[in-house]
Amino acid sequence: MALTPRMTYAAAAGEALAAAMRADPRVVAVGEDLGRGGVFGQYRTRAADGTMRPLQQEFGTARVIDTPISEANIMGAGVGMALAGLRPVIEMRVIDFALCGMDELVNQAAKNRYMFGGQGRVPLVARMPIGLWSASAAQHSQSLEAWFAHIPGLVVVCPATPQDNHGLLTAALVSGDPVVYLEHKELWGLEGHVDATAQVPLGRARIARDGHDLTLVTWSRTLHESLAAAEAVAAEGIEVEVIDLRTLWPWDRDAVLASCARTKRLLVAHEAVQVAGFGAEIAAAVAETVGCPVRRLGAPRIPVGYSPVLEAASRVDAEKIAACVRSWLRA
């Protein structure tokens, strides 16, 4: 059997979008820097000669649309396009900039289907990269996924691997509802095998590592830190089951609850600020349903600092996760 090709996290998304645009003329992309392939190269596809080229070269300026620097305008245009029958992909560059377009997303896109009895739908995908971005400081390093999980009407997706960035973007593009699609700013260069035919449904978690001593639920870049932590404590006889949630809303309650019922412990780890983070929702649901002990590990409630020392204080890394596991199981 032929091996699946290796590609980066960014390239996987580009290939998924290119395939969707070839299959459906209603799919368009709107945002800044798209003509040159996106600021992270996530709007590029591999040409016949093997080179990576901007999607605009294949689909033209009417479907890959460069915009002025105005997030409210970009998001508002995307909502209008979706209501008019298109399937727009809205590029916000990073989630920190998306705050300027929140009204259009939260008060228009999320609520339209409900307020008008299903007469209108807003099938857009808003790409808003999350997470710490090295040496980029407080206004470029936020993880705000809990904000969007709180809003009825929005689907919230956090891919952690190249395979999932391909499969989940493909699923998001056909979902029919507004999807907040949260790639991580420091995963663009991550490489992995990608099966373009594999279906990755929204709302389905993945058990990334089997274990029986503790359930560790995570998503996005923190998955990789969690797996590294699990490997470290495995050498000490502690077997951690790592679940990559993949979709925050809807989240896979059944997979998480079943795992916690087996291991009798839950730790939720995420890069977002721990206070009122989405980990609290998971912890509460598990405590109420399974009744097992729960713990959370997130960033402190401080802005991300520019200096490496201050930035490190906000990172939830493998060392911190492993230390939390050890202190709990050896208490």
Residues marked active site are found at 140
Asked whether 57 and 14 are in contact (CB, 8 A), the reply is no
Sign of the dihedral defined by the CA atoms of residues 28, 32, 36, 40, in that order: negative
DSSP state of 280: H
Nearest to 266 by CA among 251, 281, 276, 277: 281
Torsion sign over Cα 166, 9, 278, 29: negative
Supply the angle between the helices 9-23 and 162-173 in degrees, to the nearest 10: 30
Which tokens sit at 138?
Answer: 């407080």
Question: Number of helices and strands (H, E) in the chain?
Answer: 13, 16
Asked if 231 contacts 179 with a C-beta cutoff of 8 angstroms, the reply is: no
Number of C-beta neighbours around residue 66 at 10 A? 15
Closest by CA position to 189, among listed 133, 140, 109, 144? 133
- Ordered alpha helix ranges (H), the chain: 9-23, 55-59, 71-83, 95-98, 102-103, 112-115, 145-149, 162-173, 222-234, 253-263, 278-289, 308-314, 318-329
Alpha-carbon span 199 to 177, nearest angstrom: 18
